[in-house]
Amino acid sequence: MPDAFETRAIHVGQEPDSSTGAIVPPISLATTFAQRGVGDHAGYEYARSGNPTRASLEACLASLEGARHGFAFASGLAAEDALLRRLRPGDDVIMGNDAYGGTFRLIARVHEPAGVSWSAVDLTDLDALDAEWRDETRIVWIETPTNPLLTVVDIEAIAGVAHARDAIVVVDNTFATPYLQQPLALGADAVVHSTTKYLGGHSDVVGGFVALNDESIADEIGFLQNAVGAVPSPFDCYLVLRGVKTLALRMERHCENAHVIAQMLQEHDAVDRVLYPGLPEHPGHDVAKRQMRDFGGMVSFTMHEGEDAALDVVALTRLFTLAESLGAVESLIEHPARMTHASAAGSPLEVDAALIRLSVGIEAADDLADDLRQALDYTLA
Ligand code: P1T
């Protein structure tokens, strides 16, 4: 029996240091490594190509995703870029019609000019996927739950369609984390993360990760990691490793608090729609129940009175800090149309201006509910 998730998060890749016994693997700052003779070394040559602290992180996160291979990057977008750089001019990507604005920007403004075509479809609708499919489609890019609408996509169903047509499935597992959702076990070919979010967990490091099983794709990603060089620093790797030790505990509390907040929002007169996969009436609730352990810490909602009311609320909370990003211990609030998803304006991924997104932290749930309630009440006064 392999060790449980919580145990692997603390121990995999993190044996006490063999020379000193240090319980925490040292942050290995060396840029180069002595060789006994040409090519005769302890596994490390130059720190862009490989670094012991990064190797610890890669072993740990690969284990948590149930993957044979893991690659750490300098940001979530750098990790995504490595997967997209495998494409050649003429290849096609199908992505969901809701996703992080930066992912859309990377595909539409960096890879499209390099000759890659793309389309955005509602991935909860397999007929829509079928209608968009082209002979050149190589990747179906899934985010689930999506950013910022919390749409739930059935990973197993999409993998079935893609594999029958020789395309691969990439899942951005940033919102769910490997604690709540294991895309590779559901048939995905690659998992991508912004480790900036729940994996780091403390709003103090930017990073990315790719996890996969296929040997030949792993060779390509390893090549690109070194050849392009968008690698994380040893200190950044240490911070993510430190974060994942408490991932399971933090996710439990994020989920618990998000439930409380989603319910409170549903009962508030200023709120129109609450988007949270944990609510039984959410259209993706049943799929989420099947493919996730719990429903996550992200909650979005729309205001009855539109954008002005939304802008008031995000300015009026005290504990929910108005800021981009998500997934850390402190609660954040933001206005996706003007902030994280501004780059999707005018595209199929454009976001409703009445929408507010919450990253529900691990503070006391009652304090968080009180804080939001006073801001919402103000808009009714
Ligand atoms: O910021 P970076 O580490 O490069 O990760 C990009 C990224 C990738 N995937 C998802 C699902 C994301 O949410 C992000 C980054 N998102 C934000 C900064 C945000 O506030 O939504």
The tens digit of pLDDT for each residue in 256-265 reads: 999 999 999 9
**Using CB atoms within 10 A of its CB, is residue 269 exposed (0-12), middle (13-18) or buried (19+)?**
exposed
* Dist. CA 287–CA 125, nearest whole Å: 13
The pLDDT of residue 204 is 98
Q: Measured from the CB, is residue 343 less than 6 Å from ligand 1? A: no
Burial class (CB in 10 A: 0-12, 13-18, 19+), 175: buried
pLDDT score at 6: 98
From the number of C-beta atoms within 10 Å of its C-beta (0-12, 13-18, 19+), residue 227 rates as exposed
Q: Which of 191, 196, 205 to mutate to test the pocket of ligand 1 (most atoms within 8 A of CB)?
A: 196
Which residue's alpha carbon is at the smallest distance from atom 16 of ligand 1? Answer: 325
377 CA distance to ligand 1 centroid (A)? 31
172 classed as catalytic = yes
Residue 245 annotated as catalytic: no
Read off the pLDDT of residues 199-216 as tens digits, 9 standing for 90 and up: 999 999 999 999 999 999
Which residue owns the Cα nearest ligand 1 atom 20? 325
Low-confidence stretches of the chain (pLDDT beneath 70): 1
Q: Which fold has domain 247-380?
A: Aspartate Aminotransferase, domain 1 (3.90.1150)
Any ligand 1 atom below 6 A from CB of 76: yes
Q: Is 100 in the pocket of ligand 1 (CB under 6 A)?
A: yes
3-state SS of the chain: helix, strand, coil percent to 5? 40, 15, 45
pTM here is 0.98
Residue 130 has a pLDDT of 97
For residues 302 and 376, what is the distance between their CA atoms, to the nearest angstrom? 11
pLDDT score recorded for residue 2? 77
Distance in angstroms (rounded) separating the CA atoms of residues 101 and 351: 10
Four-way CATH pick for 5-244: 3.40.50.720, 3.30.470.20, 3.40.640.10, 2.60.40.3120: 3.40.640.10
Residue range(s) of every CATH 3.40.640.10 domain in the chain: 5-244
- Ligand 1 centroid–CA 33 distance in Å is 33
β 137-143/168-172 pair status: parallel
Query: How many angstroms separate the CA atoms of 327 and 177, rounded?
Result: 10
pLDDT of residue 311: 98
Q: Which H or E run contains 291? A: helix 285-291
Looking at the chain, the domain(s) classified CATH 3.90.1150.10 span 247-380
